[in-house]
Amino acid sequence: MKTIVVGAGGGGIASALLSSLRNEEVTLIEAHENLGGCASWFKRGAFCFDAGATTLSGLAPHEPMGKLCALMKDSPLVHIADPGIVFHLSNGKKLHYYKDFDRWMKELEREFPDLKHRAFWKKIYAINDKAWGLLANLNSFPFQEIHQVWEALKAPELYSLYPYLVISTDMMVKFYGLNHPDYLELLNGILLISAQAEAEEIPFLIGAMALAYPRETYAPVGGMKGLMDFFERKCLESGITVLKKSPVQKISSTQVVLKNNQELSADRIILNVPYWNISSLFSGQEKVVIDQELKDPKHAWGAFTLYLGIKAEFKELYQQIHLNHPLVKNYFVSFSIPEDLSRAPTGWQAVTISTHVEVGDWFECEKDVYQARKQELLDLILNDFKQRFSISETKFVTAGTPKTFERYTGRKSGYVGGLPFLFGMNPWKIQGHTTKLSNVFRVGDTTFPGQGLVGVVAGAMALDQNLKK
């Protein structure tokens, strides 16, 4: 079996490794010179910056990254971030989301002494743990055939979790008496970075998983370069052919054509590109078939990013700053591990800052408006950041917009971060990993279950289970 995986983001890398474990002859094709896609990196002087994703999660043995590592019999070097994230609310409250449940509760009790938190957060953790069990059983979701529905119905978690799919996170917050504006600001901050939408838009099943996510946060040693170097080594050790700087231009169900006109034949093709990118890769009748199920996303986010070196040694690596400013609701700061000299010289740190933006604002404007908008956001975030963290010296300040992400990751319109699973959304409309072409599959953060590195690895594992049947 010859398998070609197109796109070496997290989903493509995991799919290539899993295909190789199925004893297939695998070629992993990447357009860029580095692996990683939205979880890639770049260098400026002595600094190595994470381009998009900065955190890692899901490394416990029963979680997707943990399972993949067990299959590879090897793990990347990571640093435990505890607190996972520090939250700075717009009214000055500061909360450390610690790994330990009681420590986290004490933070909430200190800042919100009049509210009762424990029952709500116990519920969140219980649902989160059960949901990972359910995901492992939903290899064929969204279902294509009736027998897949029957298989899913055998999963005991389904019955206890289903009610939380039809209740919004917001409703549960009210039910537990936590409907305080500052509390909602905190929850919405967590939800936006992990589920790409806020409490009233997200079913509690997804909301609970997203709210539990900062509990387990890791920083890869060497940043995303460290993680991607590890994955590339694992690919090469597994006999996978890795083609970098090789954009795929055309695909038929048995052939992949690169930009340099090189033709590669395949028995199976796994596409790790956003689903709205897929159509342009096909032609003729296959394009017609593929187009029947692919539409542009109704809503997805773009990212505005800032990269800079700072003279500092912050130990709390991940922090979310809430501004409630009309242009920037909140921004997420990731500091490199102070001792990690592969990322910054002694006494310095490499910093990536990101915030959610609407993509349309960046594509539908003249060049001077684009530049002015970029500078305005850069100044707004940078000034707040420097003042808040008392930064005196900076180097290599650079900004990225949805246009930058489109250019470097090939993601059409600069949509990043996966698609929100919104309350009331029809679960049957979600893109799964099968396509209407029997030997073409898809993975990645626009495919169920999506969302971050942990989600794309979960998706690749689900496809693997399905292909093994």
Ligand X SMILES: Cc1cc2nc3c(=O)[nH]c(=O)nc-3n(C[C@H](O)[C@H](O)[C@H](O)COP(=O)(O)OP(=O)(O)OC[C@H]3O[C@@H](n4cnc5c(N)ncnc54)[C@H](O)[C@@H]3O)c2cc1C
Applying CB under 6 A, the residues found at the interface with ligand X are 6-12, 29-32, 37-39, 52-55, 247-248, 272-273, 303, 305, 354, 409-411, 416-418, 444-445, 452-454, 456
Instruction: Identify whether the C-beta of residue 89 lies closer than 8 Å to the C-beta of residue 186.
Output: yes
DSSP state of 344: S
Nearest distance, CB of residue 74 and ligand X, angstroms? 20
Nearest distance, CB of residue 122 and ligand X, angstroms? 25
Q: Based on CB atoms, which residue is closest to ligand X, 43 or 110?
A: 43
268 half-sphere exposure, CB direction, 13 A CA radius: 19
Q: Based on CB atoms, which residue is closest to ligand X, 139 or 217?
A: 217
Nearest distance, CB of residue 175 and ligand X, angstroms? 29
Nearest distance, CB of residue 224 and ligand X, angstroms? 9
Nearest distance, CB of residue 318 and ligand X, angstroms? 8
Query: Looking at beta carbons, which residue is closest to ligand X?
Result: 9
d(CA 27, CA 25): 7
Q: Based on CB atoms, which residue is closest to ligand X, 52 or 207?
A: 52
Nearest distance, CB of residue 384 and ligand X, angstroms? 18
Q: Based on CB atoms, which residue is closest to ligand X, 10 or 420?
A: 10
Nearest distance, CB of residue 209 and ligand X, angstroms? 13
Q: Based on CB atoms, which residue is closest to ligand X, 32 or 117?
A: 32
**Six-digit token string for 204:** 């509690």
Nearest distance, CB of residue 158 and ligand X, angstroms? 26
Q: Based on CB atoms, which residue is closest to ligand X, 89 or 353?
A: 353
Extended beta strands in 358-468, E state: 394-400, 440-442
Comparing CA positions, the residue from 219, 221, 217, 228 lying closest to residue 77 is: 221
DSSP state of 9: B
Decide: residue 336, CB within 10 A, 0-12 exposed, 13-18 middle, 19+ buried.
Answer: buried
Distances in Å between the alpha carbon of 320 and those of 109, 332, 382, 452? 19, 4, 14, 17
Phi, psi at 24, each rounded to 5°: -90, 160
Decide: residue 165, CB within 10 A, 0-12 exposed, 13-18 middle, 19+ buried.
Answer: middle
Helix ranges restricted to H, 282-358: 284-291
Nearest distance, CB of residue 152 and ligand X, angstroms? 24
Most distant CA atoms of the chain, gap in Å: 66
Our CA dihedral for 142, 146, 148, 154, rounded to 10 degrees, sits at 120
Q: Based on CB atoms, which residue is closest to ligand X, 43 or 116?
A: 43
Distances in Å between the alpha carbon of 391 and those of 324, 335, 387? 22, 13, 7
Q: Based on CB atoms, which residue is closest to ligand X, 309 or 455?
A: 455
* Residue owning tokens 């395949």: 266
d(CA 446, CA 13): 16
Q: Based on CB atoms, which residue is closest to ligand X, 168 or 354?
A: 354
